[in-house]
Structure 1
Amino acid sequence: MSTILEIGVERWPIAGTFTISRGSKTEAAVVICRLVTETATGRGECVPYARYGESIDSVCEQIESIRERLVQGLDRDDLAKLLPAGAARNAVDCALWDLEAKSARTSVAELLGLGELRDLTTAVTVSFGDAETMAAATAKFAHRPLIKVKVGGDDDADRISAVAAAAPASRIIIDANEGWNDDNIVANLLACAKAGVALVEQPLPAGQDAILRRIPHPVPICADESVHAADDLHQLAGLYDYVNIKLDKTGGLTEALRMQQEARRLGFGIMVGCMVGTSLAMAPAMLVAQDADYVDLDGPLILKKDREPGLTFSGSLVSPPSPVLWG
């Protein structure tokens, strides 16, 4: 059966501005891969990330480079040999899963033997800013059970104290996005411990995190930029306590599931996270997140408007995707 490949670019405005330590953005630019046969269409969405050397053009070119193989019926095992882990492979891998499920008139969850998927509690995100602004933003989420807060600048101890005080009943994840250094990490971790923070994500730049092996972890530390796929995990032992699995890093659902299994085997805790994208990007991650300690799939909530149909959010609860959306 022949397959038609369609590549699309979509831009989704963000509600306001989304800011981390590396900068701000006002829209989510995503690439959509559609695989069309006579009987079904499979879709996958990815978010090219400049931090990893990706752009809309480079991701589209990567997908285009395997057009002939996709038309001939490329499978997921071959895909992993043709494209590196990253956004382009994610879009294609998730489209292949979606196409297989729809062609077989079943679900990806059934194909994987996962059974019925359950609702999950996701974090909601507070952007980087000054302590007073961040405290006000956090207070609006004080009724939410899990809040992820972006830091990564001078005076982070003040930010940490302020946001924790603004939502005393919530679990707080502090995400520094590589914004700390050897000179301030001990003090910032102690500030997190004093504030009752649950988890600290990627405090130091990837590749510059050797100090984590030598200093105390008064709060568990999670790798994000330092880990992309399963083969990265062994070198993180002794540095990190948790790993953040994102499909745009792993190159799709296939590798994300492999990474999850290996992370558990090695004793890491697991967060399942996302870039800022629509529900189509979050849907496959919902399957990995069924066995996660922390879920951070609030990308659609950061947008001014999500695609329809999208995932259903009820407060902090997010429901599994409908087959119309994905899988």
Structure 2
Amino acid sequence: MTILVTGGAGFIGSNFVLDWLAQSDEPVINLDALTYAGNLENLASLEGDARHRFVHGSMGDRDLVQRLLAEHRPRAVLNFAAESHVDRSLHGPGAFIQTNVLGSYELLEAVRGHWAALPASDQAAFRFLHVSTDEVYGSLEPGAPAFTEQHPYQPNSPYSASKAASDHLVRAWHHSYGLPVLTTNCSNNYGPYHFPEKLIPLLIVNALAGKPLPVYGDGQQIRDWLYVQDHCSAIRRVLAAGQVGEVYNVGGGNEKPNLDIVHTVCALLDELRPKADGSSYKALITHVQDRPGHDRRYAIDAGKIERELGWRPTETFESGIRKTVQWYLAHPDWVAHVQSGSYREWVSQHYGEQAA
């Protein structure tokens, strides 16, 4: 038995691969294009582990995916691969359409061809699990009920629109062709190996460097925060017991304004890595102009996955954010390398441009 993971060198994907192999001996074929946010250093602890095979390539390379499926005959494909940063999507939407829409299409077609040729018993057991985001639902008004799986899609950025398109493709490939799919829509993740362009790792890295801590607008944009290892456990549960064709929202139950997050991170750094002059990192907070189309509030109703599959997060925000700050303080080399891009040079040297 084997699983194929796409995007398994990124933030959530690498955490999932590490978590999977910490709890199971089932091998993982890990396909990642190693764009800027994909980092093999995330997987350094698996070097020499026969249960993990890394393949440098894109989910949009149908021929490559077909070869991997034919060679390894995985029982499931889990799709983490995506361009995922709203700010980047505003400046360069084309990459998001290419990866999240066209890449998802190519992956689905490769998987559909493989699945259709399987014996009936293997077809019934096969799963395609697509990992998506709560941003496809748009923005919530203060006091409005949290997103359920029935909430209409109302994406407001090129990123969320491209992810919504991929969700629709997954649904269509199930209803049109019978592909046994599962979809998860998660709230904001945080934790180890998070590329430092996203809010929490950016705050930590900038604070330690004495740089401004940028806060969009008034900082009252509300997000539901999910510790990444809780997300990984939810995905494992959906893969094991989710009903084919269904969507499961995964949330942390931690709605907090961005400014509160900033203050929490600063307070933890004041405690764990106090500045020499005794001043607080809060002095670095700098309000900047809000970004276009900035969604005001996200909130996930994770009642379905709890009722039907028995999953709940185990980390509170207080415990998860402390673990996260401690991880970044303990891994300065990872931070330095991911910022310098030296890992990309290493990949080019060891794998070449088309290596697989």
Same fold (TM over 0.5): no
Choose between structure 1 and 2: higher helix proportion: 2
TM-score range, shorter chain: under 0.3
Choose between structure 1 and 2: higher strand proportion: 1
TM-score under structure 2 normalisation?
A: 0.26
TM-score under structure 1 normalisation?
A: 0.28
